[in-house]
Amino acid sequence: MAYLDNLKTFVRAYELGSMSAAGRDLRVSAAVASSRINDLEKYLGVRLFHRTTRALHPTDQGKVFYTGATRVLDAINEAESSVSDITNNPRGTLFVAAPLGLGKKLIAPTIPGFKASYPELNIRLRLSDRKIDVAAEGLDLAIMVGQLSDSNLRVRHICDLERVLCAAPSYIEQFGKPARGSELVERKHHCLLHRYPGANEFFWMLRVNGAPKRFDALGPLESDDGDVLTDWALAGCGIVNKPRFEVAEHLASGRLVVVAEETPPTPTPLSCVYPHKRLQDPKARLFLDHILASCSDLG
């Protein structure tokens, strides 16, 4: 298995552009990752990377070898998947990513039940509100919220999430309760903004007379963590635009109140994206079916 580990380390180092990043991804130290690459280079008799203190660049031989190495790993994965199909006992590791708030409230709580049903599976769940590169990060599946940019990934629509604009009673007492989206701009309400590198949420889409209309969302506070925005809303700092299920508890308790009810936000697509070949793997198919069932009552 040592040669296989070396291949996996080389492929991840190539894709991530870093020996230490490959080590973290494979749960080994940077020294172990570097040693595996060195062993592979000695075996092949060629240099696979040009190394500097800041970057890792593949050589011409490394570029050629990457193509072959990925084919080998894909073939092994397909062979393991075929065995899993026959035995109905999937095994291996599943790499999944999801947005932070949705992942904590919806995806993570379903993992123990899924793991109990398939004890030979390992799950690596990565929760982050940053922009995810599914292919570069070696993910099997990624749960995403919002409109997706064009890519070569496959997309499975899960449901449309109802969204609400809401604020704390203390904010409404101080600044008033807007009845419609136009008042957000006219009265310069404090919108709590979800922004991060690569984000496209610089405006809010609200339904006006049944049709979507764009409103520029402005405010003094922004964060790349959706849960921080909820906390700020609870503290009376402004109006937040959230999926209803994320704030349902606070709405029920009265700590947050729905505003601009005449022009509610348009629903947000919740989707699963994955590389085409990954869904040939039974463990990926099983997990996607599991998520679809878990989210069936959210739309």
Tens-place pLDDT, residues 229-278: 999 999 999 999 999 989 999 999 999 999 999 999 999 888 888 887 65
Domain ranges of the chain: 2-85, 89-160+269-294, 163-266
163-266 folds as D-Maltodextrin-Binding Protein; domain 2 (3.40.190)
| Helix or strand holding residue 71 (H, E) | helix 60-87
Cα–chain center distance at 227: 15
What CATH number has the domain spanning 2-85? 1.10.10.10
Q: What does the pLDDT read at residue 201?
A: 55
pLDDT at residue 141 above 70? Answer: yes
Dist. CA 184–CA 286, nearest whole Å? 44
Task: For the chain, give the mean pLDDT.
Answer: 85
- C-alpha closest to that of 268 among 204, 224, 211: 204
Same fold, 89-160+269-294 and 163-266: yes
State which CATH number among 3.30.1330.10, 3.40.190.10, 1.10.1660.10, 3.40.50.1000 fits the domain covering 89-160+269-294.
3.40.190.10
Dist. CA 251–CA 170, nearest whole Å? 14
| Helix or strand holding residue 223 (H, E) | strand 222-223
Q: What does the pLDDT read at residue 279?
A: 57
Q: What is the pLDDT of residues 14-46, one digit of tens each?
A: 888 888 888 887 888 888 888 998 988 898 898
Dist. CA 92–CA 224, nearest whole Å? 32
pLDDT at residue 86 above 80? Answer: no
- C-alpha closest to that of 281 among 69, 73, 133: 73
pLDDT at residue 172 above 90? Answer: yes
Q: Which of 32-46, 156-170, 192-206, 284-298 has the lowest mean pLDDT?
A: 192-206
Answer whether 76's CB lies under 8 Å from 83's CB: no
